[in-house]
Amino acid sequence: MSSRRPPWLLQRRFITTNTHTKPTSNPTHNPKWCVKQVSKSNFSETLENIKDQILKSDYIAVSLKKTGSHSAPWHRTLPIDTAQTAYLKAKYAAERFQLFQFAVCPFSIRDSKLIAYPYNFHLFPRDGLKLGMPCYSFMCQSSYLTSMANEGFDFNACINDGISYLSRAQELIARNRRGNPVISNLEQSSSPHSVADSLFLGRIQSRVKSWLKACKESKTGSEDALIRSLRKLMVGSEEYGSRPCLRIDVCSERHVQLALEVLKEFADDVVPMVIRAKGGGIQAVQVVLTSSKEDKDIFEKEQQCKEEDQNKLVRGFREVIDLISASQKPLVAQNSLNDFTIIHSKFLGPLPPSMDEFRTSLHLAVPHVLDISHLMDEISPLKKLNSVSAATSYMKRRFFAPIDAEIPQKVEADESKSHGYDVLRISQLFAKICSVLKISSETDKHSSSALKGYANIFNPYSASSDNHMEEDVRLSTDHPQKISTENIVFVWGFTLGTSAKMLRNQLLTSSEVLSDEFDVRILDKSCAVIAFSKPDSSTKFLEAMESGGNNCDSLSNLISEGLRAADYETYKRVCSLGLWEVKLADSLDKALETDFDGHTEDSQKESTEVYWRNSDLINLDEL
């Protein structure tokens, strides 16, 4: 790998300041930069506006505010994580925590101007339809809620006026549970009729004819009201609104097909509707009689509008997600793995078990995801910038890339709150990065090909969506290094308060199999990770640990005091089994006690290399 720096890193710092140039606007201090706050009360009117803006924009930035992220230091995505273990950590967090704010910003970039339409949607998973969805409970972290409270977040308004939603998978379940009649198409059954089928067809045909005859005779008005009521009772006639209807109870899907086959004979006068049982399946076919072809068309349109209104009520905020998905516009985010696992979990469906399946499933809804963290790696490969503010500050110090922001939409005075500004920062930072990297910010063929290499990368410590990487270990620098997972060993059971340096010295003097070419980092207070530079060193060390430190008194003493070790496969087993204890040592102990066949097809295909970057690993000595 060449160590030559890209030409833009060689720019002199003096070009970042210019007394004659108007400074770039900062959304947190510019009162003209307002994000429209959207809740249940103004959601419907906002939906029409954002629909047009999504269609006209080139990109869509997203930013989320959640009730939590991780419950222990090692639950965060670390440089030692493969794509699969990183995904499993993000999956665990997405399934536990909830979204309270979802900021969306359709934007375009013309020359040096950012044209943005920022919205901040306030969400709350309310079970308004009494269906037990989207969820009964979720977890919160006090630090996240405290941060939101310090920003002036109104929790009462969120709970009372937050927009609810259902995922696509939950919407299908909700349709069945509602039990509302739905218009069904009349189709001829293709399978031959049995004797039982013929008897059922004859009975239903006779009943429908008797019902239609009774309905026509009742219109003449020649019969007494009591006789008409008795006749309706005998044929089972009911009312659907102002129109007569007949309910045909069924006990199987076959009966539904046969009933619809009978009704095809009367297609000019009736509209068949199916009523689904709350437990699944169809419990009845309801036949509605119309007075004319015009009346039939009116009734069908009424039912379609009614069904669409009910579906909109069920979908809630997912209407916005569906608009974004339908537009096929590139989405820009920061920390895309955590954001899009929760987006998939809350709005698409349950998260699949592997990263490959997740990427495939998400691609069907959102084909292009751009993470500004990976774009920043192209500009600052020697330093990992983990936040938008840090990346913005770095860009401001090093480069002159002025971007003027314009927000055409008007915002009411009471909506000018500070919530959702991160989505503007992401949009502005993306525009600056494109300017520095000389990437056309308009979504033409050239820019699409230029940004293609940065799309759909969900491993925070990978520079490419391709997992097949060459091994390249340099333990003496702060560069991100690719290291085989076979060279990584986890150790725990050492004395509380032991630093990485102390532990390294103890291991170095306790075993003859260890040389100077290994590095130690503390992952949490209970566990450390060792990275070996030689392929066989990890195997020899694990064998020495399993033997109890034979022929090595120092190592034997450490083992007798409780020192334990495990390979990377044990760590993968921890993540696969969901052993998310607060202490990594406890999780590793449980994994060693559990029988598990981790050699699945997905794990065999997965890369066996991770990125080792000293500056990114947790070092409790420095805290």
Q: What is the pLDDT of residues 505-555, one digit of tens each?
A: 888 887 666 766 788 999 999 999 999 887 788 888 898 888 887 777 788
pLDDT at 411 over 60: yes
Domain boundary among 258, 281, 315: 315
What does DSSP assign to residue 598?
-
pLDDT band at 424 (very low <50, low <70, confident <90, very high): very high
26 and 161 in a common domain: yes
Residue 201 located in a structural domain: yes
336 and 263 in a common domain: no
158 and 29 in a common domain: yes
Over residues 168-191, mean pLDDT = 73
35 and 161 in a common domain: yes
Over residues 291-317, mean pLDDT = 84
Indicate the burial class of 502 (C-beta count within 10 angstroms; 0-12, 13-18, 19 or more). Answer: middle
What pLDDT, on a 0 to 100 scale, did the predictor assign at position 1? 42
Q: Residue 445: which CATH number?
A: 3.30.420.10
Residue 52 located in a structural domain: yes
571 and 445 in a common domain: no
Residue 471 located in a structural domain: no
Domain boundary among 288, 315, 342: 315
Residue 553 located in a structural domain: yes
602 and 499 in a common domain: yes
Q: How far apart are CA 166 and CA 621, in angstroms?
A: 45
494 and 384 in a common domain: no
Instruction: Tell me the pLDDT tens digit for each residue of 571-596.
Output: 999 999 999 999 999 999 999 998 76
Phi then psi dihedrals of residue 314, to 5 deg? -70, -45
**Domain tally, the chain:** 3
524 and 410 in a common domain: no
Q: How far apart are CA 112 and CA 100, in angstroms?
A: 33
Which own/partner contact pairs does 184-188 have at CB distance under 8 Å and 24+ positions apart? 184/260, 184/272, 184/273, 184/274, 184/285, 185/260, 186/260, 186/261, 186/263, 186/264, 186/267, 186/272, 187/257, 187/260, 187/261, 187/264, 188/261, 188/264
Task: Select from 349, 377, 520 the least CA-distant residue to 460.
Answer: 377
Q: At what angle do helices 318-327 and 293-315 cross, to 10 degrees?
A: 100
Residue 11 located in a structural domain: no
| Lowest-pLDDT range of 16-30, 63-77, 445-459, 565-579 | 16-30
pLDDT at 7 over 50: no
What pLDDT, on a 0 to 100 scale, did the predictor assign at position 221? 57
Residue 176 located in a structural domain: no
Domain boundary among 266, 286, 315: 315
248 and 211 in a common domain: yes
CB 165 within 8 A of CB 318: yes
211 and 259 in a common domain: yes
Residue 472 located in a structural domain: no
What pLDDT, on a 0 to 100 scale, did the predictor assign at position 234? 57
Could you tell me if residue 130 is left (phi over 0), alpha (psi between -120 and 50 degrees) or otherwise beta? left
566 and 592 in a common domain: yes
| Lowest-pLDDT range of 23-32, 130-139, 457-466, 476-485 | 23-32
Instruction: Tell me the pLDDT tens digit for each residue of 288-300.
Output: 888 888 888 898 8
Output the pTM of the full model. Answer: 0.79
58 and 143 in a common domain: yes
Over residues 42-48, mean pLDDT = 91
What pLDDT, on a 0 to 100 scale, did the predictor assign at position 598? 52
What pLDDT, on a 0 to 100 scale, did the predictor assign at position 415? 57
Indicate the burial class of 244 (C-beta count within 10 angstroms; 0-12, 13-18, 19 or more). Answer: buried
Q: By residue range, what is the domain housing residue 243?
A: 182-315
Residue 148 located in a structural domain: yes
* Token pair listed for 139: 């977890």
Bond prior to 408 in cis (omega within 30° of 0):
no
